[in-house]
Amino acid sequence: MIYKILIATLLLFLFSVNVIYAENIGVYGQLYTIAEPDLLSFIHAKLLQYQENGKLSEMESDFKKRVQESVLRPQSVSDINDATLGDKTIVKYYTPSITLQHNILNQGGTILFYKGTTINPLDSKSIAKVSPNAVVPEFNETLIFIDADNASQITFAKNKINLILKNSPFPIYKIILTKGNLKTASNSLGRIYFDQEGVLCHLFGITRVPAIVKKSGVRLKITEPVI
pLDDT at 11 (0 to 100): 47
Q: How far apart are CA 127 and CA 122, in angstroms?
A: 9
149 and 113 within one domain: no
Cα distance between residue 195 and residue 176, in whole Å: 6
Same domain, 200 and 120: no
Q: Are residues 125 and 200 in the same domain?
A: no
SS3 assignment, position 25: coil
Shared domain check, 189 and 123: no
111 within some domain: yes
User: What digits encode the pLDDT tens for the residues 80-120?
Assistant: 999 887 789 999 999 988 888 888 777 887 877 778 888 88
Q: Which domain holds residue 123?
A: 98-130
Rounded to the nearest angstrom, the gap between the alpha carbon of residue 148 and the centroid of all alpha carbons in its chain is 20
State whether residue 216 is helix, strand or coil.
strand
- Count how many domains the chain has: 2
Confidence of residue 30 (pLDDT cuts 50, 70, 90): low
Residue 125 located in a structural domain: yes
What is the spatial distance between Cα 221 and Cα 214, in angstroms, rounded to a whole number? 5
Contact between 209 and 152 (Cβ < 8 Å): no
What angle (nearest 5°) sits at the alpha carbon of residue 159, between those of residues 77 and 221? 55
| Pair 109, 143 in one domain | no
In a domain, 148, yes or no: yes
Query: Do 151 and 192 belong together in one domain?
Result: yes
Same domain, 115 and 143: no
Residues 113 and 150 in one domain: no
**Residues belonging to the chain:** 227
Same domain, 88 and 171: yes
Cis peptide before 210 (omega within 30 of 0): yes
pLDDT tier, 156 (very low <50, low <70, confident <90, very high otherwise): very high
pLDDT at 113: 74
Residues 165 and 198 in one domain: yes
Same domain, 87 and 174: yes
CA–CA distance, 45 with 49 (Å, rounded to integer): 6
Model confidence at 26, pLDDT cuts 50, 70, 90, reads: low
Q: What distance in Å separates the CA atoms of residue 160 and residue 152, rounded to the nearest whole number?
A: 12
The residues, ordered by sequence, that sit 6+ positions from 188 with a Cβ below 8 Å of its Cβ are: 148, 154, 158
If asked whether residues 142 and 217 sit together in one domain, one would say yes
Alpha-carbon distance of 41 to 9, in angstroms, equals 59
Domain CATH code at residue 207? 3.40.30.10
pTM: predicted TM-score of the whole model, two decimal places: 0.67
